[in-house]
Every structure is written in structure tokens, then in C-alpha cells.
Amino acid sequence: KGDQVIGIVTARAGDVFRLDVGGSEQASLSYLAFEGATKRNRPNVQVGDLIYGKFLVANKDMEPEMVCIDSSGKASGMGVIGQDGFLFKVSLGLIRKLLAPKCEIIQELSQLYPFELVLGMNGRIWVKAKTIQQTLIIVNILEACEYMTSEQRKQALAKLSGN
């Protein structure tokens, strides 16, 4: 409960969206669980969209339920993730490493290219840079970072930046 995850909209059933969050069961997300959503003002969510949200209900006896607002009703970066970008899966160990307050990996990558990054506690990462090539370079570095020492990572980034 409270973990922020990336889900893929698989179905729309009345007032509820069904999301694949990588678990044994699909999570539900009400259309009212978005910032500023009302019965008249519904969010524009389509099947196949990526949603960044957090678990409101998450236990083994009940269906998981997600929301895209914090306790004060604000989006705080949650909601539908942009169209272009690349979604991939990594281990939870790498996600925790990237979410650490002073993560060297993200600081070093941001000096290489400007990019957007969304990290989900279900092992999913979404990345978007200016070009597809830059996006794929960042994805490959992030996937390789799990098994690299900081020295190996610095050498790889130095090769890419041409130093």
C-alpha cells in the first residue's frame, strides 16, 4: 500500500479502468481517482495507455486498487504518462538504487542527455529522451548499471560522451 507503480490500461469497464501492474491480478482505477476529475470532466484514458499511480488497496485478500492523486487531491506527477517513450522491466534492487536520494547513476546520466524518467516500484521504468537513439542509449545504460561498479559505469559514460 502506498507504493507508486506503472500500470498498463487493459480494459475500460464502466467507471473503472483495469490495469496490468505485473501482479497475479489486475488493479482497478476509478475515473474519479485523477486530479480535477468529476462525473462531467472525465480524464482522457485509452486502452494501452501507461498510468503512473499509487496503490490505495494492496493486500492478498482484496483486488488491488490504484489512485493518481495524493492525500491532498493533487496529481503530484501521477497520471497518464506521455505517449513516446520506452517501458522496460528491471529488478526491484535497481529501482531502489535509482530511487535513493543521492543516486549517482541518474546524476551522471543527466549530464549526458536530457531525459524524462518514471520509476515504478513494480520493476517498471519508463524513459523518454529527445531522440529514439538517446532513449535507447539511456535504457541500455540503466539495464547495465545493475551489474556495474561505479568505476565501470563512469568509464562507459566517458566513452559515450567522447571524453
Q: Dump pLDDT digits (tens) for 20-45.
A: 988 888 889 888 888 878 888 888 88
CATH number of 86-161: 3.30.1370.10
What pTM was estimated for this model as a whole? 0.84
Q: Dump pLDDT digits (tens) for 65-79.
A: 898 888 877 888 888
Q: Where in the chain is the domain with CATH 2.40.50.140?
A: 3-80
Task: From residue 44, give the alpha-carbon distance in Å to each of 38, 55, 96, 131.
Answer: 12, 20, 31, 26
Predicted pLDDT of residue 163: 53
Q: Is the dihedral of CA 21, 26, 31, 32 positive or negative?
A: negative
CATH number of 3-80: 2.40.50.140
Q: Where in the chain is the domain with CATH 3.30.1370.10?
A: 86-161
Cα within 13 Å of Cα(13), Cβ side: 8
